[in-house]
Structure 1
Amino acid sequence: MTRTRPTIADLRALKGKKQLTMLRVTTLEEAEAAERAGVDIVSIPPELILHPHYRDAAPSLFSMPGDNFYEIGTADDFVRWSFRMIKAGADAVYCSASYATIKRMADEAVPVIGHVGLIPSRKTWTGGFKAVGKTADSALQVFEAVKQLEAAGAFGAEIEVVPVEVAEAISQRTSLFMLSMGAGAGCDAQYLFAEDILGMNRGHMPRHSKVYRNFAAEYDRLQAERIAAFREYVSDVETNAYPREQHIVHMPPDELKTFMAKLEAS
């Protein structure tokens, strides 16, 4: 059955009623797989939404491009960037810049997803890559950030690595559509990275990640096959096993005779 891409109004109507699924995907192949698997929401690099075939691959995915705010610039830059994203087919944009910047976009009716809790680009303020909101005071700071996003006009917020009790209590007290990354099932959607689900990451795995496949091992196997194929090619050239008759073309004898005569006379 063909799915219809949800609108902002659709997602708001689902708040508190069911858990949706969200992935960070970075390639057209991953987006198509998410579409065919029935994923609801994807976060994507800005260049992916600009791909001419993106919506062919992912017609029903609620798609949210985002980038580090250092890469985009000022509030004016964000407004221009967000217009470009929406024009290309984005359903919302991610922004971890200031509340004022988010407000600038929201004032232009751009659906914006903010970020609270562990914000990687601002991790130095909260002590690095670790949970945020484990004390009453820090949990209230997360709630205050959510209220600030509400006031700025954001549509939703990613809430990352916050205690499950805190995330659930906040989600129940905000109109924002809350995207849980490592913050439990009390929010409106569960958010994981495709590279973690596929087992592509050979380094540290976040506590909240779950690995469903081992692509790293498959990549290792393919690399070994790649090296072996290249070695066989080198050996074939060195032993005159390549090229063979089936790999080359010949000039007709009469044309060859004429060519050689002209070549000798030149």
Structure 2
Amino acid sequence: MARLALSDSVLLVVTLYVKQSNYPAEIRGVFVLIALIGFEGLVFANFTHASEMLVQRHDEGVHLKNLLFAVTIAEIGIKLMLLLTSLLPAFGLKLYSQLTLHFSAPICIVLTVLFNAAVETNGQFITKADPVFTIINSAIIFIVALPALQNSVRIFLYEVPKGFQVDEFKKEINIEFPKATCDHFHVYKKHGSNTFDAFLCITYRCSMDDPQWDRKAQIDITKMQEKIRSLLVKAGGKSITVQPFIVDENNPVAWNHCLNDDCPKKSCCQTLTENNSLP
């Protein structure tokens, strides 16, 4: 069971270090996710090892019980200080789940050592109780830690902000700017916050027969970008990228935003090119 408590201590040390670091939020999230995956692996290893010990024990029992008791008491004290100072990592869990995750193993160790001292039978009690409590505790901790793992893995699963209607926003852009069409609109919720990033591909149509077409296009596109950014920032957007593509409404094939001849054969570019080639 000492290994189980040590696994949680390692998780706390890694998480606290990452939390106090200057890494970007996304990088910190990756480190926490790796730590949680490693923690779940160690918990499972403790479970299988305890199961094996219950059937056939290969060692002579628990050594240095007094030292184990003292170290565990110190561990509980440190974790209580972290909890009272709000430094104990929550991992998106409720309070009772946090207490179970961080305190169940050391408390079981303390109780086991105390019971062993009370009913001393040459160490036989702790030898039999240790694998049983480890199996039960490992199963509980493994289940409790699963929501924390789920909360952390969301950094790789970009989500559209709740209530954000992408298709409706594209229609509004097309109505607001008759010369423009929103062909692609990708919006991703930022991990751990209510903000989001957005990337838009806008096709702007103009008549290049007009000598002033480039200046007029620049003015219209600038207004369009400012308007779109303003609307998205008010909705919670943080990083907004508006990529314009200019096409000649009289000769739409003249302007091609593809990088090479094979690009239009791709699925997204093929659709966009067909739309731009419409008269």
TM-score greater than 0.5 by the shorter chain: no
Higher helix share: 2
